[in-house]
Structures are given as structure tokens and as C-alpha cells.
Amino acid sequence: MADPRLASFQSGTEKVLQHLKTEFSKLQTGRANPALVEHIDIEAYGARQQLRTLAGISVSDARSIVVQPWDRALLGAIEKALSQADIGGTPVNDGVVIRINLPPMTEERRVHLKKIVATLSEEAKIAIRKHRQESLDAIKQEKDEDVKATLEKNLQKEVDEANAKIVEAGKKKEEELMKV
């Protein structure tokens, strides 16, 4: 049976890795992807809601995203939010759907996004360190020195694995960004 202190660290790590993957999916890679816009908040029905709850989002070709609201009255609000979101393309409202044509990625944009990937990866590593410290503080309460040493060793192994996953995800995303 796993120690609850390590299990707590593992669950925190999973959340960090999941958040990192979500953030990476929001970065434009030169190909249209619904994840670029689905998280955008829209002012609708007196509340802020994510676009994916208000419209169907599809990809018509490699550079075009089509957003079809389930309620046409929201077209203006969705168009406004997409314009303010700075996703790289300009939304075009044709009265039925909103089309976003993404421009080809420039070298400058790729380098900028690569820096964002590095920043997000570093933030994830910081979150892992924070979880490690919380777990270490809990482990230090242990009276049995052998158990304490074993837990600390296992915790460090978990930290190393989590950091390796972060580095791997960052490299994968950078390759994706630099692919022309």
C-alpha cells in the first residue's frame, strides 16, 4: 500500500502535468486546433462561460477554425471575445458562423512561442518543487528513521520522474512549434 504522503504528492503532480498539457494545447502550432479557442471566456446570459459550452468548434482545413454558436444571438459576443483573445487570426462573422483564418507561422512567432513553452515548463517544475516541500514536511513528522529515509528516497524518485515528464512534454511541444 502506498504511503498517503507520497500519494498526495502523486496526485498533485498529476494535476500539474495535466495543467501543463492544457496550457500547451492552447499554443498555436501552425495548424488549426479547436483547443486554441475552446477555453476562451464569453460574456453570455449574464455570466462568463467557456466557448466550448456555447458553440460547436470545428476545423475546416489546416488553417481555419469554424465556431458555430448554438444560439445565434451570441455571435457578436463570441466574435468580440475572439478578437480580444489574440490567437493570431481575425474572426470573420458571416451571420451564421464565425471563421478564424490563422496566418502562417513566422519564425519570430515560433521563437516567441518557444519561450512561452520554456516559461510554462519552468512554472510546472516550480509547482512540483512546492508539492515536494509539502510532502517532505509531512515525512519529517515520521518517527522511524528507516521509514523516513525510504519515503524521502521514494519521493525524490517521484520528483525526478515528474521533472522528466515535464522536460519531455516541453521538447515535444517545441518540436511541434518549430515544424514548418
In a 3-state reduction of DSSP, which class is residue 93? Answer: strand
pLDDT class for 166, splitting at 50, 70, 90?
very high
Phi, psi at 36, each rounded to 5°: -65, -30
The answer on pLDDT for 157 being more than 70 is yes
C-alpha cell at 139: 515525512
DSSP calls for 29-52 = -SS--GGGTTT-EEEETTEEEEGG
The answer on pLDDT for 1 being more than 60 is no
pLDDT class for 129, splitting at 50, 70, 90?
very high
Residue 104 has a pLDDT of: 79
C-alpha cell at 177: 512549434
The answer on pLDDT for 88 being more than 80 is no
What are the pLDDT digits (tens) for 21-65? 888 887 766 677 788 888 888 888 889 988 889 999 998 887 888
Which structural domains are found in the chain, ordered by start? 4-26+106-178 (1.10.132.20), 34-101 (3.30.1360.40)
DSSP calls for 108-159 = HHHHHHHHHHHHHHHHHHHHHHHHHHHHHHHHTT-S-HHHHHHHHHHHHHHH
Fill in the DSSP letter of residue 125: H
Q: 19-23, 120-124, 164-168: lowest mean pLDDT where? A: 19-23
Q: Model's pTM, two decimal places?
A: 0.72
Residue 165 has a pLDDT of: 95
* Cell numbers 512540483: residue: 128
User: What distance in Å separates the CA atoms of residue 120 and residue 140, rounded to the nearest whole number?
Assistant: 30
Residue 158 has a pLDDT of: 93
User: What distance in Å separates the CA atoms of residue 6 and residue 1, rounded to the nearest whole number?
Assistant: 11
User: What distance in Å separates the CA atoms of residue 5 and residue 83, rounded to the nearest whole number?
Assistant: 45
